[in-house]
Amino acid sequence: MGLTVTTAGDVVVSEYSNHRLKVFLKENTAEPKVIGSKGSGNCRFMCPRGLALDKQNNIIVADSENHRIQVVSINGEFIGDFGKIGWDPGSFHTPHGVAVDEDGNVIVADTKNNRLQIFTRRVPSYDIDNREDVSTLYDCA
C-alpha cells in the first residue's frame, strides 16, 4: 500500500489488492473518492504500490504489475503514463516505490531490476486538456 498527502490535506492511498486508489478529502466526511479499477488501460491498475505527488498535486503511481508509472489528477483524470516491462533505461520490472524531488524529478524504485531510475522533467507542467504523452515529458537520467 502507498500513501501520500496533498498540500490541501487530502489523503491518497493505493489499494494493492483492489487495484485502485482512494482519496480521502479533508473537507468531506462522505465516502472516499475511488480512482481506477483492475486492468491495463488509462486509470486502470494492476497492484498499485508507491505514490507521490508532483508540484501540481497530480498523483504519480507505481503501477507495479503493469510495469509502468501512471500520472492521474486528484479528480481521477488520466494524465499519462510512461515505462513498459524491460531492462533498458526507461523500462521497469515491477516498480514499487516512487518519489518526486524538489526539482520535479521522478525517482522510481525499479524493484526486480534492482535499481533506482531518475526521470528529469522536460516541461514545467502537464497540459490536462491536451493530454500529452507523459513519456515525452521525462528523460531517463
The whole model's pTM is what?
0.86
Q: What pLDDT does 94 receive?
A: 96
Domain boundaries, the chain: 3-140
Q: What is the pLDDT of residues 96-126, one digit of tens each?
A: 999 999 988 899 999 999 999 988 765 444 4
- Give the pLDDT confidence score for residue 2 in this predicted structure: 93
Return d(Cα 74, Cα 21) in angstroms, integer: 10
Question: What's the CATH number of domain 3-140, 1.10.10.60, 3.40.47.10, 2.40.30.200, 2.120.10.30?
Answer: 2.120.10.30
Secondary structure (H, E, C), the chain: CCEEECCCCCEEEEECCCCEEEEECCCCCCCCEEECEECCCCCEECCEEEEEECCCCCEEEEEHHHCEEEEECCCCCEEEEECCECCCCCCECCEEEEEECCCCCEEEEEHHHCEEEEEEECCCCCCCCCCCCHHHCEEEC
Q: What does pLDDT average to in each consecutive run of 10 residues of the chain (141 residues)?
A: 93 97 87 95 96 93 96 92 90 95 90 90 48 49 53
